[in-house]
Chains A and B, each alone.
Chain A
Protein backbone atom coordinates (compact mmCIF):
# COMPACT_ATOMS: atom_id res chain seq x y z
CA UNK A 1 0.00 0.00 0.00
CA UNK A 2 1.30 3.42 -0.91
CA UNK A 3 0.48 6.25 1.41
CA UNK A 4 -0.95 9.26 -0.42
CA UNK A 5 1.43 11.56 1.41
CA UNK A 6 4.56 9.78 0.19
CA UNK A 7 3.78 10.26 -3.51
CA UNK A 8 5.95 12.61 -5.53
CA UNK A 9 3.09 14.44 -7.21
CA UNK A 10 0.20 16.04 -5.37
CA UNK A 11 -2.58 13.50 -4.86
CA UNK A 12 -5.82 14.00 -6.78
CA UNK A 13 -8.86 13.98 -4.53
CA UNK A 14 -12.55 14.00 -5.32
CA UNK A 15 -14.66 15.85 -2.74
CA UNK A 16 -18.41 15.27 -2.89
CA UNK A 17 -21.04 17.52 -1.34
CA UNK A 18 -18.81 20.48 -2.17
CA UNK A 19 -21.54 23.09 -1.68
CA UNK A 20 -21.81 22.29 2.00
CA UNK A 21 -19.91 24.40 4.51
CA UNK A 22 -18.05 21.38 5.90
CA UNK A 23 -16.75 20.44 2.44
CA UNK A 24 -15.62 24.03 1.88
CA UNK A 25 -13.62 23.92 5.11
CA UNK A 26 -12.09 20.58 4.13
CA UNK A 27 -11.19 21.97 0.69
CA UNK A 28 -9.55 24.97 2.34
CA UNK A 29 -7.36 22.65 4.44
CA UNK A 30 -6.33 20.36 1.59
CA UNK A 31 -6.04 22.67 -1.40
CA UNK A 32 -2.37 23.49 -0.87
CA UNK A 33 -1.20 19.91 -0.66
CA UNK A 34 -3.68 18.18 -3.00
CA UNK A 35 -5.26 18.61 -6.41
CA UNK A 36 -8.95 18.78 -5.63
CA UNK A 37 -12.02 18.17 -7.77
CA UNK A 38 -15.37 19.20 -6.31
CA UNK A 39 -18.74 17.65 -7.05
CA UNK A 40 -22.15 18.58 -5.72
CA UNK A 41 -25.59 17.40 -6.73
CA UNK A 42 -27.21 20.71 -5.83
CA UNK A 43 -25.15 23.39 -7.49
CA UNK A 44 -21.87 24.10 -9.24
CA UNK A 45 -19.74 25.70 -6.57
CA UNK A 46 -17.34 28.43 -7.67
CA UNK A 47 -14.00 27.40 -6.13
CA UNK A 48 -11.53 29.36 -8.24
CA UNK A 49 -9.37 28.31 -11.17
CA UNK A 50 -7.41 25.65 -9.34
CA UNK A 51 -10.33 23.47 -8.32
CA UNK A 52 -12.58 22.08 -11.08
CA UNK A 53 -16.15 22.02 -9.81
CA UNK A 54 -19.07 20.04 -11.20
CA UNK A 55 -22.79 19.93 -10.53
CA UNK A 56 -23.47 16.23 -10.81
CA UNK A 57 -25.53 13.51 -9.23
CA UNK A 58 -23.44 10.59 -7.93
CA UNK A 59 -25.57 8.23 -10.04
CA UNK A 60 -24.74 10.17 -13.21
CA UNK A 61 -22.81 8.34 -15.92
CA UNK A 62 -20.52 11.34 -16.38
CA UNK A 63 -19.06 10.66 -12.94
CA UNK A 64 -16.98 7.89 -14.50
CA UNK A 65 -15.48 10.41 -16.92
CA UNK A 66 -14.18 12.38 -13.94
CA UNK A 67 -12.48 9.23 -12.63
CA UNK A 68 -10.98 8.59 -16.07
CA UNK A 69 -9.76 12.14 -16.49
CA UNK A 70 -8.39 12.93 -13.04
CA UNK A 71 -7.14 9.49 -11.91
CA UNK A 72 -8.15 10.09 -8.32
CA UNK A 73 -5.94 8.87 -5.49
CA UNK A 74 -8.55 9.59 -2.86
CA UNK A 75 -12.25 10.28 -2.40
CA UNK A 76 -13.75 12.32 0.44
CA UNK A 77 -17.45 11.56 0.38
CA UNK A 78 -19.28 14.29 2.27
CA UNK A 79 -22.27 14.47 -0.08
CA UNK A 80 -24.72 12.71 2.18
CA UNK A 81 -28.22 14.09 2.00
CA UNK A 82 -29.46 14.72 5.50
CA UNK A 83 -32.60 13.08 6.82
CA UNK A 84 -34.39 16.43 6.86
CA UNK A 85 -33.96 16.88 3.10
CA UNK A 86 -35.88 15.52 0.10
CA UNK A 87 -38.09 12.43 0.14
CA UNK A 88 -37.16 8.98 1.46
CA UNK A 89 -36.91 7.55 -2.06
CA UNK A 90 -34.69 10.34 -3.37
CA UNK A 91 -32.49 10.15 -0.31
CA UNK A 92 -32.15 6.41 -0.78
CA UNK A 93 -31.18 6.89 -4.43
CA UNK A 94 -28.66 9.58 -3.64
CA UNK A 95 -27.21 8.24 -0.38
CA UNK A 96 -27.23 4.52 -0.97
CA UNK A 97 -27.19 3.95 -4.72
CA UNK A 98 -25.09 7.06 -5.37
CA UNK A 99 -22.53 5.95 -2.79
CA UNK A 100 -22.45 2.47 -4.29
CA UNK A 101 -21.69 3.94 -7.70
CA UNK A 102 -18.98 6.13 -6.19
CA UNK A 103 -17.36 3.18 -4.39
CA UNK A 104 -17.59 0.95 -7.47
CA UNK A 105 -15.81 3.59 -9.54
CA UNK A 106 -13.23 4.12 -6.78
CA UNK A 107 -12.47 0.41 -6.85
CA UNK A 108 -12.38 0.28 -10.65
CA UNK A 109 -10.00 3.24 -10.97
CA UNK A 110 -7.60 2.28 -8.19
CA UNK A 111 -8.44 4.85 -5.52
CA UNK A 112 -6.29 4.27 -2.42
CA UNK A 113 -8.08 6.26 0.26
CA UNK A 114 -11.81 6.84 0.86
CA UNK A 115 -13.39 8.85 3.68
CA UNK A 116 -17.15 8.42 4.11
CA UNK A 117 -19.04 10.87 6.30
CA UNK A 118 -21.80 9.19 8.28
CA UNK A 119 -23.63 10.41 11.38
CA UNK A 120 -24.15 9.40 15.00
CA UNK A 121 -27.87 9.15 14.16
CA UNK A 122 -27.20 5.58 12.97
CA UNK A 123 -27.03 4.39 16.61
CA UNK A 124 -30.65 5.44 17.14
CA UNK A 125 -32.08 7.29 20.12
CA UNK A 126 -33.74 5.11 22.70
CA UNK A 127 -34.22 5.11 26.45
CA UNK A 128 -31.92 2.12 26.96
CA UNK A 129 -28.83 3.56 25.28
CA UNK A 130 -25.74 3.39 27.47
CA UNK A 131 -23.46 6.43 27.40
CA UNK A 132 -20.14 6.51 25.53
CA UNK A 133 -21.33 4.27 22.70
CA UNK A 134 -18.42 2.66 20.89
CA UNK A 135 -18.14 1.90 17.19
CA UNK A 136 -19.05 -1.76 17.66
CA UNK A 137 -22.49 -0.99 19.12
CA UNK A 138 -25.49 -2.14 17.04
CA UNK A 139 -27.10 0.40 14.71
CA UNK A 140 -30.63 0.64 15.98
CA UNK A 141 -31.95 3.66 14.14
CA UNK A 142 -33.31 1.75 11.13
CA UNK A 143 -35.67 -0.07 13.47
CA UNK A 144 -36.78 3.16 15.10
CA UNK A 145 -37.49 5.34 12.10
CA UNK A 146 -37.92 4.61 8.40
CA UNK A 147 -36.53 8.09 7.69
CA UNK A 148 -33.10 7.06 8.94
CA UNK A 149 -32.86 3.81 6.96
CA UNK A 150 -30.79 5.42 4.20
CA UNK A 151 -28.19 6.59 6.74
CA UNK A 152 -27.80 3.04 8.07
CA UNK A 153 -27.82 1.52 4.58
CA UNK A 154 -25.08 3.94 3.48
CA UNK A 155 -22.97 2.74 6.40
CA UNK A 156 -23.68 -0.93 5.74
CA UNK A 157 -22.68 -0.48 2.14
CA UNK A 158 -19.48 1.33 3.05
CA UNK A 159 -18.70 -1.42 5.59
CA UNK A 160 -19.15 -4.13 2.94
CA UNK A 161 -16.73 -2.32 0.62
CA UNK A 162 -14.37 -1.74 3.54
CA UNK A 163 -13.90 -5.50 3.98
CA UNK A 164 -14.33 -6.62 0.39
CA UNK A 165 -11.87 -4.11 -1.08
CA UNK A 166 -9.25 -3.42 1.62
CA UNK A 167 -7.11 -1.57 -0.95
CA UNK A 168 -9.70 1.25 -0.95
CA UNK A 169 -8.70 2.02 2.69
CA UNK A 170 -12.19 3.14 3.64
CA UNK A 171 -12.70 5.08 6.86
CA UNK A 172 -16.24 5.76 7.95
CA UNK A 173 -16.60 8.75 10.28
CA UNK A 174 -19.59 9.03 12.60
CA UNK A 175 -19.51 12.57 13.99
CA UNK A 176 -21.75 13.94 16.74
CA UNK A 177 -23.76 17.13 16.03
CA UNK A 178 -21.70 19.31 13.68
CA UNK A 179 -22.34 22.97 14.48
CA UNK A 180 -20.84 26.37 13.84
CA UNK A 181 -20.82 29.10 11.20
CA UNK A 182 -22.57 28.13 7.98
CA UNK A 183 -23.90 24.77 9.19
CA UNK A 184 -27.51 24.30 8.18
CA UNK A 185 -28.42 20.98 9.79
CA UNK A 186 -31.33 20.46 12.18
CA UNK A 187 -29.51 21.06 15.44
CA UNK A 188 -27.61 24.08 14.13
CA UNK A 189 -30.88 25.69 13.00
CA UNK A 190 -32.32 25.06 16.46
CA UNK A 191 -29.36 26.64 18.25
CA UNK A 192 -29.50 29.60 15.88
CA UNK A 193 -33.21 30.24 16.34
CA UNK A 194 -34.85 32.66 18.77
CA UNK A 195 -37.30 30.06 19.99
CA UNK A 196 -36.63 26.35 19.97
CA UNK A 197 -39.01 23.50 20.76
CA UNK A 198 -38.11 21.05 23.51
CA UNK A 199 -39.92 17.95 24.72
CA UNK A 200 -41.25 18.87 28.16
CA UNK A 201 -39.25 17.15 30.88
CA UNK A 202 -36.55 15.77 28.57
CA UNK A 203 -33.11 17.26 28.20
CA UNK A 204 -30.80 14.55 26.88
CA UNK A 205 -27.03 14.81 26.97
CA UNK A 206 -25.61 15.95 23.65
CA UNK A 207 -22.22 16.39 22.05
CA UNK A 208 -21.28 19.11 19.61
CA UNK A 209 -18.29 19.45 17.35
CA UNK A 210 -17.31 22.74 15.74
CA UNK A 211 -17.27 22.63 11.94
CA UNK A 212 -13.60 23.71 11.92
CA UNK A 213 -12.70 20.83 14.24
CA UNK A 214 -14.64 18.40 12.06
CA UNK A 215 -12.85 19.69 8.96
CA UNK A 216 -9.53 19.21 10.80
CA UNK A 217 -10.60 15.66 11.68
CA UNK A 218 -11.42 14.81 8.05
CA UNK A 219 -8.16 16.32 6.77
CA UNK A 220 -6.25 14.40 9.44
CA UNK A 221 -8.06 11.16 8.66
CA UNK A 222 -7.32 11.52 4.95
CA UNK A 223 -3.60 11.73 5.60
CA UNK A 224 -3.39 8.47 7.56
CA UNK A 225 -4.84 5.56 5.61
CA UNK A 226 -6.24 3.51 8.47
CA UNK A 227 -9.31 1.48 7.59
CA UNK A 228 -12.22 1.36 9.99
CA UNK A 229 -15.23 2.98 11.53
CA UNK A 230 -14.68 5.86 13.92
CA UNK A 231 -16.87 8.04 16.11
CA UNK A 232 -15.80 11.66 16.06
CA UNK A 233 -16.79 13.59 19.18
CA UNK A 234 -14.94 15.75 21.68
CA UNK A 235 -14.86 14.65 25.33
CA UNK A 236 -17.32 17.28 26.47
CA UNK A 237 -21.04 17.01 27.08
CA UNK A 238 -24.02 19.24 27.74
CA UNK A 239 -27.76 18.77 28.24
CA UNK A 240 -29.85 19.89 25.24
CA UNK A 241 -31.94 22.42 27.13
CA UNK A 242 -28.84 23.88 28.80
CA UNK A 243 -27.25 24.26 25.36
CA UNK A 244 -30.32 26.17 24.16
CA UNK A 245 -30.13 28.44 27.21
CA UNK A 246 -26.46 29.14 26.56
CA UNK A 247 -27.31 30.01 22.94
CA UNK A 248 -29.94 32.49 24.14
CA UNK A 249 -32.93 30.49 22.81
CA UNK A 250 -36.34 30.66 24.41
CA UNK A 251 -37.48 27.10 25.02
CA UNK A 252 -40.97 26.16 23.85
CA UNK A 253 -42.06 22.95 25.59
CA UNK A 254 -43.99 20.39 23.56
CA UNK A 255 -46.08 17.95 25.66
CA UNK A 256 -44.06 14.75 25.86
CA UNK A 257 -46.35 12.11 27.31
CA UNK A 258 -47.95 9.88 26.19
CA UNK A 259 -45.31 9.43 23.42
CA UNK A 260 -47.97 9.47 20.72
CA UNK A 261 -48.89 13.06 21.55
CA UNK A 262 -45.60 14.81 20.66
CA UNK A 263 -45.33 12.69 17.52
CA UNK A 264 -48.80 13.81 16.46
CA UNK A 265 -48.06 17.45 17.28
CA UNK A 266 -44.74 17.47 15.44
CA UNK A 267 -46.18 15.71 12.39
CA UNK A 268 -49.00 18.25 12.27
CA UNK A 269 -46.65 21.19 12.64
CA UNK A 270 -44.18 19.71 10.14
CA UNK A 271 -41.28 21.80 11.48
CA UNK A 272 -38.19 21.20 9.40
CA UNK A 273 -35.86 21.96 12.26
CA UNK A 274 -37.69 19.67 14.69
CA UNK A 275 -38.99 16.72 12.61
CA UNK A 276 -41.05 13.97 14.26
CA UNK A 277 -38.62 11.19 13.29
CA UNK A 278 -35.71 12.93 15.05
CA UNK A 279 -37.83 13.37 18.17
CA UNK A 280 -35.99 10.55 19.93
CA UNK A 281 -32.72 12.49 19.72
CA UNK A 282 -34.31 15.32 21.73
CA UNK A 283 -35.65 12.85 24.29
CA UNK A 284 -32.97 10.25 24.90
CA UNK A 285 -29.19 10.64 24.92
CA UNK A 286 -26.95 9.22 22.21
CA UNK A 287 -23.52 9.91 23.69
CA UNK A 288 -20.70 8.48 21.60
CA UNK A 289 -17.12 7.70 22.53
CA UNK A 290 -14.67 9.49 20.24
CA UNK A 291 -11.48 8.30 21.94
CA UNK A 292 -10.64 5.63 19.37
CA UNK A 293 -10.44 8.27 16.62
CA UNK A 294 -8.47 10.63 18.84
CA UNK A 295 -5.91 7.95 19.66
CA UNK A 296 -5.59 6.59 16.13
CA UNK A 297 -5.27 9.92 14.34
CA UNK A 298 -3.91 12.14 17.11
CA UNK A 299 -6.96 14.37 16.97
CA UNK A 300 -8.03 16.89 19.60
CA UNK A 301 -10.99 19.23 19.24
CA UNK A 302 -9.79 22.79 19.77
CA UNK A 303 -13.02 24.80 19.94
CA UNK A 304 -14.74 24.54 23.34
CA UNK A 305 -18.52 24.34 23.77
CA UNK A 306 -18.61 27.81 25.30
CA UNK A 307 -17.14 29.31 22.14
CA UNK A 308 -19.66 27.47 19.95
CA UNK A 309 -22.65 28.61 22.03
CA UNK A 310 -21.26 32.14 22.21
CA UNK A 311 -21.28 32.25 18.42
CA UNK A 312 -24.94 31.22 18.25
CA UNK A 313 -25.91 33.67 20.98
CA UNK A 314 -24.28 36.56 19.14
CA UNK A 315 -25.59 35.60 15.70
CA UNK A 316 -29.31 35.15 16.15
CA UNK A 317 -31.19 35.15 12.90
CA UNK A 318 -33.64 38.09 12.75
CA UNK A 319 -37.30 37.23 13.18
Chain B
Protein backbone atom coordinates (compact mmCIF):
# COMPACT_ATOMS: atom_id res chain seq x y z
CA UNK B 1 0.00 0.00 0.00
CA UNK B 2 1.50 3.36 -0.98
CA UNK B 3 1.81 6.20 1.51
CA UNK B 4 -0.93 8.18 -0.23
CA UNK B 5 -3.44 5.33 -0.13
CA UNK B 6 -2.48 4.57 3.48
CA UNK B 7 -3.09 8.19 4.51
CA UNK B 8 -6.32 8.19 2.56
CA UNK B 9 -7.54 5.05 4.29
CA UNK B 10 -6.78 6.61 7.69
CA UNK B 11 -8.20 10.04 6.94
CA UNK B 12 -11.07 9.55 4.54
CA UNK B 13 -13.86 7.25 5.64
CA UNK B 14 -15.47 4.92 3.10
CA UNK B 15 -18.86 6.61 3.60
CA UNK B 16 -17.39 10.04 2.88
CA UNK B 17 -15.54 8.69 -0.15
CA UNK B 18 -18.77 7.26 -1.57
CA UNK B 19 -20.72 10.37 -0.54
CA UNK B 20 -18.38 12.64 -2.56
CA UNK B 21 -18.23 10.23 -5.51
CA UNK B 22 -22.03 10.38 -5.77
CA UNK B 23 -22.02 14.17 -6.20
CA UNK B 24 -21.78 14.97 -9.88
CA UNK B 25 -19.28 17.69 -10.76
CA UNK B 26 -18.25 19.06 -14.15
CA UNK B 27 -14.63 17.88 -14.01
CA UNK B 28 -12.11 16.76 -16.61
CA UNK B 29 -10.57 13.32 -17.13
CA UNK B 30 -7.97 13.83 -14.39
CA UNK B 31 -10.41 15.02 -11.74
CA UNK B 32 -9.76 18.76 -12.08
CA UNK B 33 -12.01 21.60 -13.14
CA UNK B 34 -10.83 24.88 -14.76
CA UNK B 35 -10.51 26.61 -11.37
CA UNK B 36 -8.36 23.88 -9.87
CA UNK B 37 -11.02 21.98 -7.93
CA UNK B 38 -9.91 18.41 -7.32
CA UNK B 39 -12.28 15.63 -6.34
CA UNK B 40 -9.67 13.73 -4.29
CA UNK B 41 -8.40 16.75 -2.33
CA UNK B 42 -11.97 17.66 -1.44
CA UNK B 43 -12.29 14.31 0.34
CA UNK B 44 -9.32 15.18 2.56
CA UNK B 45 -10.68 18.68 3.08
CA UNK B 46 -14.08 17.44 4.20
CA UNK B 47 -12.52 14.76 6.42
CA UNK B 48 -10.55 17.48 8.21
CA UNK B 49 -13.55 19.82 8.34
CA UNK B 50 -15.82 17.17 9.89
CA UNK B 51 -14.33 17.25 13.45
CA UNK B 52 -14.00 21.04 13.26
CA UNK B 53 -17.67 21.35 12.28
CA UNK B 54 -19.08 18.71 14.61
CA UNK B 55 -16.76 18.65 17.62
CA UNK B 56 -14.93 21.96 17.84
CA UNK B 57 -17.64 24.44 16.90
CA UNK B 58 -20.59 22.02 17.52
CA UNK B 59 -22.28 23.67 14.58
CA UNK B 60 -26.05 23.67 14.35
CA UNK B 61 -27.35 24.25 10.83
CA UNK B 62 -31.03 25.00 10.25
CA UNK B 63 -32.69 25.17 6.87
CA UNK B 64 -29.73 23.93 4.82
CA UNK B 65 -32.28 22.21 2.58
CA UNK B 66 -33.39 25.66 1.42
CA UNK B 67 -30.40 25.51 -0.95
CA UNK B 68 -31.81 24.19 -4.25
CA UNK B 69 -30.60 20.73 -5.29
CA UNK B 70 -29.42 22.02 -8.67
CA UNK B 71 -28.95 25.15 -10.72
CA UNK B 72 -26.95 28.31 -10.01
CA UNK B 73 -27.07 29.47 -6.39
CA UNK B 74 -25.42 32.25 -4.43
CA UNK B 75 -25.22 31.52 -0.71
CA UNK B 76 -24.91 34.97 0.81
CA UNK B 77 -23.90 35.39 4.43
CA UNK B 78 -22.42 37.70 7.02
CA UNK B 79 -18.65 37.52 7.23
CA UNK B 80 -16.90 37.51 10.58
CA UNK B 81 -14.08 36.21 12.71
CA UNK B 82 -10.82 37.22 10.96
CA UNK B 83 -10.35 33.77 9.37
CA UNK B 84 -12.82 32.33 6.82
CA UNK B 85 -14.10 29.72 9.28
CA UNK B 86 -17.69 30.75 8.45
CA UNK B 87 -17.12 29.79 4.80
CA UNK B 88 -15.74 26.38 5.76
CA UNK B 89 -18.71 25.65 8.06
CA UNK B 90 -21.31 26.75 5.48
CA UNK B 91 -19.53 24.68 2.85
CA UNK B 92 -19.41 21.61 5.06
CA UNK B 93 -23.11 21.97 5.95
CA UNK B 94 -24.04 21.87 2.25
CA UNK B 95 -21.58 19.14 1.23
CA UNK B 96 -22.60 16.85 4.09
CA UNK B 97 -26.38 17.24 3.92
CA UNK B 98 -28.09 13.92 3.31
CA UNK B 99 -30.60 15.12 0.73
CA UNK B 100 -28.93 16.12 -2.57
CA UNK B 101 -25.56 17.32 -1.24
CA UNK B 102 -23.57 19.79 -3.34
CA UNK B 103 -19.92 20.77 -3.34
CA UNK B 104 -20.02 24.53 -2.84
CA UNK B 105 -17.52 26.98 -4.21
CA UNK B 106 -16.24 30.01 -2.32
CA UNK B 107 -14.94 33.31 -3.58
CA UNK B 108 -11.69 34.20 -1.81
CA UNK B 109 -9.57 37.32 -1.36
CA UNK B 110 -7.22 38.31 -4.15
CA UNK B 111 -4.34 37.94 -1.74
CA UNK B 112 -4.57 34.13 -1.49
CA UNK B 113 -3.38 33.02 -4.97
CA UNK B 114 -0.01 34.67 -4.25
CA UNK B 115 0.57 32.53 -1.14
CA UNK B 116 2.49 29.32 -1.93
CA UNK B 117 0.82 26.02 -1.01
CA UNK B 118 -2.19 27.68 0.61
CA UNK B 119 -3.42 29.24 -2.66
CA UNK B 120 -3.35 25.92 -4.53
CA UNK B 121 -4.81 24.03 -1.61
CA UNK B 122 -7.76 26.41 -1.39
CA UNK B 123 -8.32 26.05 -5.14
CA UNK B 124 -8.29 22.28 -4.88
CA UNK B 125 -11.05 22.26 -2.27
CA UNK B 126 -13.23 24.54 -4.38
CA UNK B 127 -12.25 28.08 -3.38
CA UNK B 128 -11.81 30.47 -6.30
CA UNK B 129 -10.26 33.90 -6.75
CA UNK B 130 -13.00 36.43 -6.00
CA UNK B 131 -13.29 37.88 -9.47
CA UNK B 132 -16.70 38.73 -10.96
CA UNK B 133 -15.73 36.93 -14.18
CA UNK B 134 -15.00 33.75 -12.22
CA UNK B 135 -18.29 34.04 -10.37
CA UNK B 136 -20.20 34.55 -13.63
CA UNK B 137 -18.56 31.54 -15.33
CA UNK B 138 -19.28 29.34 -12.33
CA UNK B 139 -22.93 30.39 -12.21
CA UNK B 140 -23.11 29.54 -15.91
CA UNK B 141 -21.70 26.14 -14.84
CA UNK B 142 -24.61 25.73 -12.36
CA UNK B 143 -22.41 25.92 -9.28
CA UNK B 144 -23.46 26.84 -5.73
CA UNK B 145 -21.19 29.68 -4.60
CA UNK B 146 -20.63 31.03 -1.10
CA UNK B 147 -20.34 34.82 -1.20
CA UNK B 148 -19.65 37.33 1.53
CA UNK B 149 -20.54 40.70 0.00
CA UNK B 150 -19.00 42.49 2.98
CA UNK B 151 -15.56 41.08 2.04
CA UNK B 152 -12.72 42.09 4.35
CA UNK B 153 -14.93 44.83 5.82
CA UNK B 154 -16.85 42.02 7.49
CA UNK B 155 -14.17 39.50 8.40
CA UNK B 156 -11.70 42.14 9.60
CA UNK B 157 -14.07 44.05 11.86
CA UNK B 158 -13.40 44.35 15.57
CA UNK B 159 -15.20 42.55 18.37
CA UNK B 160 -17.04 45.70 19.42
CA UNK B 161 -18.71 45.78 15.98
CA UNK B 162 -19.86 42.15 16.13
CA UNK B 163 -23.07 41.27 14.27
CA UNK B 164 -23.23 44.73 12.68
CA UNK B 165 -23.49 44.14 8.95
CA UNK B 166 -21.02 46.24 6.97
CA UNK B 167 -21.67 47.67 3.50
CA UNK B 168 -22.65 45.02 0.94
CA UNK B 169 -21.07 45.29 -2.51
CA UNK B 170 -23.81 45.05 -5.17
CA UNK B 171 -21.83 42.73 -7.49
CA UNK B 172 -23.55 39.55 -6.26
CA UNK B 173 -26.99 40.97 -7.06
CA UNK B 174 -26.00 41.88 -10.63
CA UNK B 175 -24.69 38.36 -11.16
CA UNK B 176 -27.73 36.69 -9.59
CA UNK B 177 -30.03 38.73 -11.85
CA UNK B 178 -27.99 38.05 -14.97
CA UNK B 179 -27.67 34.31 -14.44
CA UNK B 180 -31.08 33.80 -12.84
CA UNK B 181 -29.41 32.41 -9.74
CA UNK B 182 -31.21 31.78 -6.46
CA UNK B 183 -29.90 33.77 -3.49
CA UNK B 184 -29.95 31.78 -0.27
CA UNK B 185 -29.32 34.07 2.71
CA UNK B 186 -27.51 32.68 5.72
CA UNK B 187 -27.04 34.19 9.15
CA UNK B 188 -23.85 33.01 10.88
CA UNK B 189 -23.80 33.34 14.66
CA UNK B 190 -20.78 32.33 16.72
CA UNK B 191 -17.88 33.03 14.38
CA UNK B 192 -17.57 36.58 15.76
CA UNK B 193 -16.50 35.02 19.07
CA UNK B 194 -13.88 32.66 17.59
CA UNK B 195 -11.12 35.26 17.23
CA UNK B 196 -12.23 38.43 19.02
CA UNK B 197 -9.99 41.27 17.83
CA UNK B 198 -9.62 44.52 19.74
CA UNK B 199 -7.62 46.46 17.16
CA UNK B 200 -6.32 46.32 13.62
CA UNK B 201 -2.59 47.01 13.26
CA UNK B 202 -2.77 48.76 9.90
CA UNK B 203 0.99 49.47 9.40
CA UNK B 204 1.77 45.78 9.99
CA UNK B 205 -0.94 44.73 7.52
CA UNK B 206 0.47 47.15 4.96
CA UNK B 207 4.03 45.91 5.50
CA UNK B 208 2.98 42.27 5.10
CA UNK B 209 0.69 43.01 2.15
CA UNK B 210 -2.33 41.44 3.87
CA UNK B 211 -5.83 42.96 4.18
CA UNK B 212 -5.70 43.39 7.98
CA UNK B 213 -3.60 42.41 11.01
CA UNK B 214 -5.85 41.87 14.03
CA UNK B 215 -4.65 42.34 17.57
CA UNK B 216 -6.12 39.22 19.11
CA UNK B 217 -5.25 36.13 21.10
CA UNK B 218 -3.33 33.62 18.94
CA UNK B 219 -6.00 30.96 19.41
CA UNK B 220 -9.32 30.14 17.78
CA UNK B 221 -11.88 29.92 20.58
CA UNK B 222 -14.38 27.05 20.39
CA UNK B 223 -17.52 29.18 20.23
CA UNK B 224 -20.73 27.32 19.35
CA UNK B 225 -21.81 28.22 15.84
CA UNK B 226 -25.38 28.51 14.57
CA UNK B 227 -26.06 28.64 10.85
CA UNK B 228 -29.55 29.73 9.82
CA UNK B 229 -30.34 29.39 6.14
CA UNK B 230 -33.33 31.34 4.83
CA UNK B 231 -35.65 30.46 1.93
CA UNK B 232 -34.19 31.15 -1.53
CA UNK B 233 -34.80 34.63 -2.95
CA UNK B 234 -35.22 35.13 -6.69
CA UNK B 235 -34.75 38.41 -8.55
CA UNK B 236 -35.67 38.83 -12.20
CA UNK B 237 -33.09 39.98 -14.70
CA UNK B 238 -34.88 43.14 -15.90
CA UNK B 239 -32.80 46.18 -16.73
CA UNK B 240 -33.07 48.35 -13.61
CA UNK B 241 -31.18 51.32 -12.21
CA UNK B 242 -28.32 51.01 -9.76
CA UNK B 243 -30.57 52.51 -7.05
CA UNK B 244 -33.11 49.74 -7.56
CA UNK B 245 -30.31 47.15 -7.47
CA UNK B 246 -29.26 48.73 -4.16
CA UNK B 247 -32.80 48.28 -2.85
CA UNK B 248 -32.69 44.59 -3.75
CA UNK B 249 -29.33 44.28 -1.97
CA UNK B 250 -30.97 45.86 1.10
CA UNK B 251 -33.75 43.22 0.95
CA UNK B 252 -31.11 40.47 1.15
CA UNK B 253 -29.29 42.34 3.92
CA UNK B 254 -32.53 42.66 5.92
CA UNK B 255 -33.17 38.94 5.57
CA UNK B 256 -29.63 38.12 6.74
CA UNK B 257 -30.13 40.46 9.72
CA UNK B 258 -33.34 38.60 10.56
CA UNK B 259 -31.50 35.26 10.39
CA UNK B 260 -28.67 36.60 12.60
CA UNK B 261 -31.22 37.81 15.17
CA UNK B 262 -32.88 34.38 15.06
CA UNK B 263 -29.52 32.73 15.74
CA UNK B 264 -28.70 35.13 18.56
CA UNK B 265 -32.07 34.44 20.20
CA UNK B 266 -31.60 30.67 19.88
CA UNK B 267 -28.11 30.78 21.30
CA UNK B 268 -28.07 29.69 24.95
CA UNK B 269 -24.40 30.40 25.69
CA UNK B 270 -21.28 31.53 23.84
CA UNK B 271 -19.28 28.29 24.14
Contacts and interface: CB of A to CB of B under 8 A. Distances in A.
Contacts of A205: 32, 34-36, 123
Contacts, number: 74
A10 interface: no
Contacts of A236: 28-30
B34 A132 contact: yes
A239 B32 contact: yes
Contacts of A306: 29-30
A82 B21 CA distance: 42
B106 to A, nearest CB: 15
Interface string B202-216: 000000000000000
B138 to A, nearest CB: 9
A304 B29 CA distance: 8
Given A237-B32, A238-B30, A306-B29, A130 B129 contact: yes
B137 A130 contact: yes
A285 B119 CA distance: 11
A277 B110 CA distance: 22
Given A284-B113, A285-B36, A132 B30 contact: no
Contact of B131 (A128, A238, A242): A128
A127 B113 CA distance: 6
B117 interface: yes
Contacts of A200: 116
Nearest to A246: B30
A306 B34 CA distance: 17
A204 B129 CA distance: 13
Contact of A130 (B28, B117, B120, B133): B133
A131 B113 contact: no
Contacts of B30: 236-238, 242, 246, 305-306
Interface in A204-251: 204-205, 235-239, 242, 246
B243 interface: no
Given A201-B117, A256-B116, A257-B116, A238 B34 contact: no
A77 B129 CA distance: 36
Contacts of B33: 237
Nearest to B112: A127
A237 B129 contact: no
Interface in A166-215: 199-205
A132 B120 CA distance: 17
A305 B27 CA distance: 13
Given A205-B34, A205-B36, A242-B30, A131 B134 contact: yes
A74 B170 CA distance: 50
Contacts of B134: 130-131
Contacts of B29: 236, 304-306
Contact of A237 (B28, B110, B118): B28
A287 B138 CA distance: 14
A202 B116 contact: yes
B131 A235 contact: no
Nearest to B36: A205
A238 to B, nearest CB: 5
Given A205-B32, A306-B29, A130 B131 contact: yes
A40 B119 CA distance: 43
Interface string B122-151: 011000110101100100000000000000
A156 B119 CA distance: 33
Given A127-B113, A202-B119, A132 B137 contact: yes
Interface of B: 28-30, 32-36, 38, 110, 113-120, 123-124, 128-129, 131, 133-134, 137
7 contacts: A128-B131, A130-B129, A131-B134, A201-B115, A205-B34, A205-B36, A305-B29
Which 9 A-B pairs give the minimum distances between C-beta atoms? A201-B116, A236-B28, A130-B133, A201-B117, A131-B34, A127-B113, A130-B134, A130-B131, A237-B32
Interface of A: 127-132, 199-205, 235-239, 242, 246, 256-257, 284-285, 287, 304-306
Given A128-B113, A202-B119, 10 more contacts: A130-B133, A130-B134, A130-B137, A200-B116, A201-B120, A205-B34, A236-B28, A237-B28, A238-B32, A246-B30
